[in-house]
A and B are shown apart, each in its own frame.
Chain A
Amino acid sequence: MKLDRRNFIGSSAAIAAALSAPTVMASGKPRVVVVGGGAGGATAARYIAKDSKGAIDVTLVEPTRSYYTCFFSNLYIGGFRTLDSIGHSYGNLATEYGINVVHDWAVGIDRGAKTVSLAGGSTLNYDRLILSPGIDFIDGSVEGWSINAQNKMPHAYKAGSQTELLKAQIEAMPQGGVFAMVAPPNPYRCPPGPYERISMTAHLLKAKNPTAKIIVADPKPKFSKMGLFQEGWGSHYSGMIDWIGSEFGGGNVSVDPDAMTVTIDGEVTKVDACNVIPAMKAGRICEIAGITEGNWAPVSGHTMQSRIDENIHVLGDASAQGDMPKSGYSANSQAKVAAMAVRGALTGSKVFPAKFSNTCWSLIDTNDGVKVGATYEATDEKIAKIDGFVSKTGEAADLRKATYEESIGWYSGITADMFG
């Protein structure tokens, strides 16, 4: 029988081939498009390009030309790091790994045609798509605040100019002035982040404006590493910080950026600087792609594949990632699992069982660092925690110093891992 296309597709040989062989391209190499060049996307792009040894074409779509890490941006606020030291170029990814770095916004995904539309007008084709767009804010989640007000009351929760702005506003506060933070509800990017920020703000104010006050309106009854932060605030910044949790009305908040007031449970307070951290959802491209359920993109932990479209993987903050927190470390960890799965699907390379880990370091004051971490495995239901640890209150000073120094080593390592 002449083996024409109709016969072949219906035959068991074709079915067997489709199940066992790597995807066969009509022409050229398999193509991966990565949207988002942060801890998830940059890592995934680098690992796929590096480990496929040129067998896969990788395109990375990232609007910023310099990436300022959100992690360690609080240390810049506190004066422990310069802004430049937390900025990274995409040059190595382009020159050393052959990645097609496209500085543009992805504004559309056609899952049927497997294309990504860019704001500049071009279209990219993909065989596998990795979305790692981070977070976007939920409109109206903080009464009185919108993106129009982000210059008066910065969120500084996407690092860069917003972080510079917030630091400048803190430094410009009058003596004895008031700094307010509106903290976000769960789940959000970087669980200890707001509280490290409070610590770093207090550190800055203690030196230059010791009678200044900090108030935190928090919709949550407790927060990550709470005992450690409160111990540290008591010993380093006694009397400066007033944390108002949900039990005390911290969730009943509105702000007036023009009048520079914050109203907490009916009580109006004039503020001199205010950091509003709104509620979050997956970066909007995930919603546009049609792969979100509620605010986040559900994934299979085994491969980080979207549960809605097997040709799309979602990494980092945007994903509904089970027990893992939304952190840069998590995104980097998930990226490696996804990179391995994508290479396996496109080139037939070996795929091992997914393993994940996370560690979050927070700096409370000079040489006073704390950490929390865990290891995880993929189950069919979710990414599940296996084991974990957290710093203890009352730890010796040299241990806290070593913990801080460890975080410096980690930062150097993870940024090399992301950007080459």
Chain B
Amino acid sequence: MPNHLKVIMTVLVYWFYAGFVHSAEVELPAEILNIVGDPEYGEYLASDCKTCHKVEGSAPGVPSIIGVSKRDLIIALHAYKQKVRKNPVMQMMANRLSNEEIAALAAYFEGLN
């Protein structure tokens, strides 16, 4: 293949993959990953999370979600939604969240860091 075509192919492949998250868990298109969430709505939704996931400190048996990056939280919730991650409580919680609500939650928790 001529060099200039290789360059074009490389750019095109990079451009194609740049829109997706490569993770071991779920692949999310950029338009979902980049939804701008309402942190005020996220705060209300997060009150449900705080029953188990403490805001200060953590307890054994339930992982802390404070300090988790916005991107990682979005991926994790989608992983539960798609049943890639197995915990049935979290699958149930994530299943009732829309993409916008997941973004809202992530925006709220990011604001806590």
A residues engaging B (CB < 8 A)?
47, 329, 332-333, 336, 340, 350, 352, 355, 357, 359, 371, 373-375, 386-389, 402, 404-414, 416-417
Contacts and interface: CB of A to CB of B under 8 A. Distances in A.
Contact of B40 (A350, A373, A416): A350
A333 B93 CA distance: 13
A407 B51 contact: no
A405 B53 contact: no
B60 A409 contact: yes
A340 B58 CA distance: 26
Contact of B96 (A329, A359, A387, A410): A387
Given A329-B51, A413-B53, A375 B96 contact: yes
Given A350-B40, A402-B61, A389 B88 contact: yes
A413 B51 contact: yes
B96 A355 contact: yes
Nearest to B64: A409
Contacts of B51: 329, 332-333, 410, 413-414, 417
B93 A416 contact: no
Which 6 pairs show the lowest CB-CB distances between chains A and B? A409-B62, A412-B59, A405-B61, A409-B61, A389-B88, A409-B59
A373 B48 contact: no
Given A47-B47, A373-B92, A416-B54, A406 B40 contact: no
B32 to A, nearest CB: 21
Given A357-B93, A387-B96, 17 more contacts: A47-B47, A340-B44, A350-B44, A352-B44, A355-B48, A359-B89, A371-B88, A371-B89, A375-B93, A375-B95, A389-B91, A409-B61, A412-B62, A414-B51, A414-B52, A417-B50, A417-B51
Query: Secondary structure of the A side of the interface?
Result: helix
Contacts of B20: none
Contacts of A407: 61
A412 B88 CA distance: 20
17 contacts: A333-B48, A336-B48, A371-B88, A373-B92, A375-B92, A386-B96, A389-B89, A402-B61, A405-B60, A406-B61, A406-B89, A409-B58, A409-B59, A409-B60, A409-B62, A413-B53, A416-B54
Contacts of A413: 50-54, 59, 62
A408 to B, nearest CB: 5
A336 B50 CA distance: 11
B56 interface: yes
B61 A388 contact: no
Contacts of B96: 355, 375, 386-387
Contacts of B92: 357, 373-375, 387-389
Contacts of A336: 44, 47-48
A408 B89 contact: no
Nearest to A420: B56
Contacts of A404: 61
Interface centre among B40, B47, B54, B61 (most CB of A within 10 A): B61
Given A405-B60, A406-B61, A412-B54, A355 B45 contact: yes
A387 B94 CA distance: 11
A414 B62 CA distance: 12
Interface string B33-55: 00000001100110110111111
B77 to A, nearest CB: 14
A406 B88 CA distance: 12
Given A333-B48, A350-B40, A375-B96, A416 B56 contact: yes
A132 to B, nearest CB: 16
Nearest to A353: B44
Contacts of B52: 406, 409-410, 413-414
Interface in B71-89: 88-89
Contacts of B55: 416
A69 B92 CA distance: 26
A410 B62 CA distance: 7
Contacts of A409: 52, 58-62
B2 to A, nearest CB: 56
B37 to A, nearest CB: 13
A389 B58 CA distance: 25
A373 B61 CA distance: 17
Interface string B18-36: 0000000000000000000
A129 B112 CA distance: 31
Contacts of A386: 96
